[in-house]
Structures are given as C-alpha cells and as structure tokens.
Chains A and B, each alone.
Chain A
C-alpha cells in the first residue's frame, strides 16, 4: 500500500530567514495515528501547513496520496485538499456562517447533495455537544465550543488524512476524551491522523500512536509501542542512537 504522506529531506524557510524545518524525512501509512510534539517554535505548525498543503517547501520532496505536491500544478491541489481535514489551532471558522453552515462547508465544496449534508452535519454537531447551538455564529460560541465546531468541520468529510493543531487545548478533560474517541473512530475507518499537541495525557491515551518530535526544525521519533498499528518511518532520535 502506498504512503499517505512521504517527506524526503524537506526544508522550509520564510523569506531569507534561517530554515524552520531542516531535512525532515518521514512517511505515514494509511490508517496510522501520530502525535506531533515539540517545544513552541520547534516548527510544528510549519510542518502541519506543509501537510495540509497551505504552502510548498523550500526544498525536498513531499508526496501526498502518491502525488508530488512540490511540482504539482495549482489547479490539481483542490482535489487533494478535499481529502484532507484540518483543525486549526485558531479554529478559523467563517464568522458570517452559522455553526451548521460552517460544518457543512467541506461537503458543500465537494458538491455533496444538500439534504444528506444537512442531516450528517446535524448528527455530528449533536455528537460534539453543539445540538442546541447549530444556528449560532462562531463569535457567540465559547472557545471550547468553537474548537468542537472546528473539529466537526474537519471530520465531516471523513478525510483520508486529518491534521489537527492542538485540537483539545480549550476543552475540559471529559470533552477531550470524547473528541479523542471521535478521532479514534475515524482512525478505525482508515483515516491517517496527525495531531500536534503538548498534552502528554492525550498522548498516553493512545498507546499505539507514533510520536513525532520536532526539535529546532528537525524531526525525531520518540516511541513506538503497539506493533499492530503501523508506525511512521522516521529518523531515530539522538537519544535512541546513543549507546
């Protein structure tokens, strides 16, 4: 089975500054679960932007769903983006749309039938505890509610790859567990997940997950516990290389 994501010697710099990502190489297989960790400024969000095709790398090769996205034409990118769900750290909900319309957005963009989209969106909003806030505008929702709405929007299309930046940062532990359950269900259906987080307890709740750690723009693996879940192929961390 081909990789969902493959990075080879990827480097990223903004303008003429120093590289924020250096020689990043890894690959993610279908249906695998990954956490991305690292100190603030280590390059997590930059790596995620490459994963959800918001920018192209300064150097190296990136293959998403078997397509070389570095040399790919702009016109071919939307089809790949429709297969990727994204939870942004700052949610990036559309302020002029209701919660329901925000959730329906990915399926509407994909041209799904309106009736099916609405029913699916309502069920999903109920699942994340926003059944009574469907017509509310994002500005009237709390931080936690906005985060759940952003997650619902990211997963509604049942994407092949889900990229989430601190998806449980603003919710209580109970809701965090519920959202993690949603991610695991999605993972069981075949979605490859990459979740950037500082939350150690969240990582500990998914023992089979691969942990990718960024340090000053370089990527290392930290642990691979459960052999039945295929791990990401990454460079070993410096600590693991030590005798």
Chain B
C-alpha cells in the first residue's frame, strides 16, 4: 500500500505548515484555560461548601442591651450542650463593631447603636445536626436569636459556580469545534493544492485510505505541535495566577489552585487535540475523495 516503509508520496503541506499549528495552539490555550478553570472552580466550590457547611452563625438581634446579653448567654449555653457542636464563640461587642466598620466607616458608629451579638458555631464534620431543630430549641431560650447555616448562600454559590463551569465547558467545546473547522478548511486547501498529484495516485491504483494516511500523518504532527505549544502557554498562565492567588493568602482563593486532576487534564489535552486534528483531516479527505471517480 501507499506510504509503507515511511515513504511519502505527497509533498509537505506548505499551506498548513505555517499558520495551522499557531491557530491550533491558540485554540488549545483557550481550551486548556477553560478546562483548568472549570476543574479548579469545582475543587474550590467543594472546599468552600465543606468549610461553610461546618460553620453556623447565630445572631441575637435585640435592641435592649440587657435582654440581648441574657439571650446571647442562653444561646451560647444551649449550643455548647448540643452534641456535634465542637466550639461556640460569641464575638465581643468591639469585634462585632469592627466587622461593621468597612461598611459604616471608622468612628462613625454611635455607641448607642445596637449591634447584634454574633456567635460563631463550629460543627463536627460527622455530625448530622438539623439546623431547623436547633432553631426551634434556640427560640425557646433566645427568641431574638437567628441561626444562619449559610444554606441559601451556598445554593446561590453552587448555582453561580455551575454556570461558570458550564461556560468553561462551552469554551472547550467551541475551541475544539473551531479547531476542527480550521483543520477541515486547511485540509481542503491541501487537497486542492495536491489535486493533480492525488489524481495521478488514484489513476495508479492508490486507495482513498492510503491518500488519507498521508494527510493524517501531517495533521497529527501539526495538532501535536500546536497542542503542546497551547498547553505550555496555559500551564505558564495557570502557574502565574496560582502564585498570585497564594500571595493573597485569602481563605476564599486558597482553594483556587490547580490540583492533580488539572495537571493530568493538561497533560492529556495535546494528545486529544492531535487525535482530533488527525481525525478531522481524515474525515475531510475521505469526504472530498468521494467526489473523485
């Protein structure tokens, strides 16, 4: 068959050699960032969800300072006695006022302004506490207490993260489709450029699959080259952003660092792009050759 023994019958695809690997590299770069971003977002939201689901906040909203303090003490006592609660810490009035300073401004708060008592409650990971039941028990000893288990915020965060992951997935799909489109266009240009040679090969008895292999080999190489370049650029970008995130020392961004799955995905991506490029070229060649006699 044609192409055996490493012999090539078609000249190098000069029309594709220059531009195509660059285009593939750009598309792979975008896809790699989207893959890494989506996976890192998944890891981060999982981490945030775990952290926040183990932490409740109780607010005692009462205008009268004496009743507020009394209810806060009762709430702390009750919460401490609940099995599964690992720590209960009521913030001092000064700490609570310090939390409000960024919104109200330093020194602008009147000492007469009632500030709720905030109680930070840590729950054991294995505990299966029902926030609704705890709320009922709190109502009995501290009617002004409000328990926030962050469920609403977590649901909103989950929905937003889901939308971002969907967007990342869409970017990956669009990038790969664009790569296929460019490869298909380039392959057709290559077929046009080599039309006379292909006709001769056909007339000498070469089969479509043999001519297709000539293109497959070329485009596999282009795909691998572009894929590796794109992923290399993406790795550099992700490493740089990861370093910046670590410097922020933020608990929120702490989870936004690439894990093993991200690196594994980035390692596989150039191969996937190369195979996709090769398969697109093969499909394009076979469809085009079907028009020949």
Contacts and interface: CB of A to CB of B under 8 A. Distances in A.
Contacts, number: 59
- Which range contains the number of A residues in contact with the other chain? 20 to 34
Given A74-B290, A111-B4, 7 more contacts: A53-B293, A78-B205, A81-B202, A82-B205, A94-B9, A108-B2, A111-B1
Interface string A51-80: 011111000000000000000001101111
Contacts of B113: none
B293 A56 contact: yes
Interface residues of B, number: 23
Interface of B: 1-2, 4-5, 7, 9, 11, 196-197, 199-208, 210, 290, 292-293
A109 B205 contact: yes
B197 A81 contact: no
Interface in A82-117: 82, 86, 92, 94, 96-97, 105-106, 108-111, 114
A109 B203 contact: no
A43 B2 CA distance: 33
B293 A81 contact: no
B207 A78 contact: yes
Give 8 nearest A-B pairs by CB, closest first.
A82-B205, A81-B205, A96-B11, A78-B205, A78-B207, A106-B204, A109-B206, A109-B204
A124 B143 CA distance: 107
Contacts of B290: 74
12 contacts: A53-B203, A54-B203, A79-B205, A81-B202, A81-B203, A92-B196, A92-B199, A105-B204, A106-B204, A108-B7, A108-B9, A109-B1
B204, B206, B207, most chain A CB atoms within 10 A: B204
B256 to A, nearest CB: 52
Contacts of B9: 94, 97, 105, 108-109
B1, B5, B203, most chain A CB atoms within 10 A: B203
Contacts of B2: 108-109
